[in-house]
Chain A
């Protein structure tokens, strides 16, 4: 199992359950040996440059609960510094102000105010931008605090055309949260899972000996991976402690 974690952050290729042996984890992360303290930061020195800071996919609850050590300190989510975030939400209210348009967005986890500042030069196209109440939008923006009130300064707000994007976003936020709090699953564990899900074991499962032979890894390794998968709740043991099946509801 080569360490083929790629260095970069790529949006859509986690490949959950896919068959390739890299396991599809493409975030530059702890496995790459970087000590990055940034959400989704590429393991390079470009970290300081704001323009290249990636967006953390988050839920609105995470935005509300982002911590600040002291006023004006950087925000932290899951203990990692975060400036740019992206999230989805239903438009609950729109209030045009002289300098900005304030939206109240609700994603079912919390409600947050999002301000889109009006650009005097481009007044026309910003004022044309209209979102229907109760429609979903995606926001890319920056966490802000003003008079102890938290809001998000939007760079871009776009309507969500496909509802599956809402679901996708929430799963991506969950994935990132788990990745940064629990770390990526070991490549071998992912490989065993992928092998099992492509096998014909069904409800009866496959014995560790067979997995070991088929995958050409030691029986000890298989048992370790199996235990990890079982404690994560994605596989279970069947006839004995050494026979594993995919928990598929």
Chain B
């Protein structure tokens, strides 16, 4: 049992999460070496680790830390195939932030400026 959250965010919210671990669900738009560009209500650059197996054009879920340049250093990535409804994914991001009580432990207050 651990009170640690990786909030689901989109690119619109990323600048509030610098230094924190987050989760992003989006569409892989570009794969170049160990960098991926993921579309989640806007583009997010992800620095992948070695064991990433993402597929261009497919949906992906990445978990990682937001760096000061607003890219994400990925710790875990999963290919989700091509049957993910991104509108629903965005709805979950909205729910996460409208009902933080259900989704986010704010233990790490170091990140501050939580909306």
Query: Which A residues fall within an 8 A CB radius of B?
Result: 59, 61-62, 64, 106, 108-113, 134, 149-151, 162-164, 167-168, 170-171, 173-174, 177-178
The answer to whether B102 touches A64 (Cβ under 8 A) is no
Report the stretch among B3-11, B32-40, B42-50, B65-73 that lies at the interface. Answer: B3-11
Residue B92 at the A interface, CB < 8 A?
A: yes
The interface residues of chain A lying within 8 Å CB-to-CB of B14 are none
- Cα of A108 to Cα of B5 in the assembled complex, Å: 5
Report yes or no: A177 in contact with B99, Cβ–Cβ below 8 A.
yes
B78 at the interface (CB under 8 A from A): yes
The reply to whether B1 and A112 contact each other, CB–CB distance below 8 Å, is yes
Q: A111-B4, A134-B76 are in contact. Are A62 and B102 (CB under 8 A)?
A: yes
Q: Which of B1, B78, B88 contacts A113 (CB 8 A)?
A: B1
Tell which of A59, A149, A163, A178 has the most Cβ of chain B within 10 Å.
A163
13 further A-B contacts with Cβ under 8 Å, apart from A59-B103, A111-B1, A171-B92, are: A61-B104, A61-B105, A108-B6, A108-B23, A110-B5, A163-B84, A164-B83, A164-B84, A167-B25, A170-B96, A170-B103, A177-B101, A177-B102
Is B91 among interface residues, defined by CB-CB distance under 8 A? yes
Q: Is B59 an interface residue (CB 8 A)?
A: yes
Known: A61-B103, A61-B104. A109 touches B5 (CB 8 A): yes
Residues of A within 8 A of B8 (CB): 108
A-B contact count (CB 8 A): 75
A163: chain B residues at CB < 8 Å are 25, 59, 61, 80-81, 83-84
Residues of chain B lying within 8 A (CB to CB) of residue A164: 83-85, 88
Q: Are A150 and B78 in contact (CB under 8 A)?
A: no
Chain A residue with Cβ nearest B22: A108
**Are B102 and A174 in touch, CB under 8 angstroms?**
yes
A110-B3 contact, Cβ under 8 Å, with A59-B103, A61-B103, A178-B99 = yes
Question: Does B31 touch A at the CB level, under 8 Å?
Answer: no
Q: Which residue of A lies closest to B91 (CB)?
A: A171
Distance in angstroms between the alpha carbons of A34 and B63 in the assembled complex:
43
